[in-house]
Amino acid sequence: MSEHLVVTGANFETEVVKSDVPVLLDFWASWCGPCRMIGPFIEELAAEYNGRLKVGKINVDEEGDLATRHGVVSIPTLVVYKNGEIANQAVGAFPKQNIEALFKDLI
């Protein structure tokens, strides 16, 4: 069962900016090989940190405005929000422990 949230322009403010817990955003696309490669890691982290971390996926083909707002020029791009602000970010495909390191000290 999927633990991630589909983030859109319509729910970004409520689900990300006003979140009580840190939010890991995965900017991705279905045609992106590296995005598909880290997808299982993102899902595992969403399940493992459920309740302590919110995990959202943003499809750059469907949510171009959000991608532009975040300066996304390459995917996958991972952005961590805490208290409504960007706390960390990384571009590229990484092992699960590297993705976890982006947010672990923020929880």
Comparing C-alpha atoms, which of 45, 81, 39 is closest to residue 59?
39
**Catalytic amino acids?**
32, 35
As a whole number of angstroms, the distance between CA 105 and CA 107 comes to 6
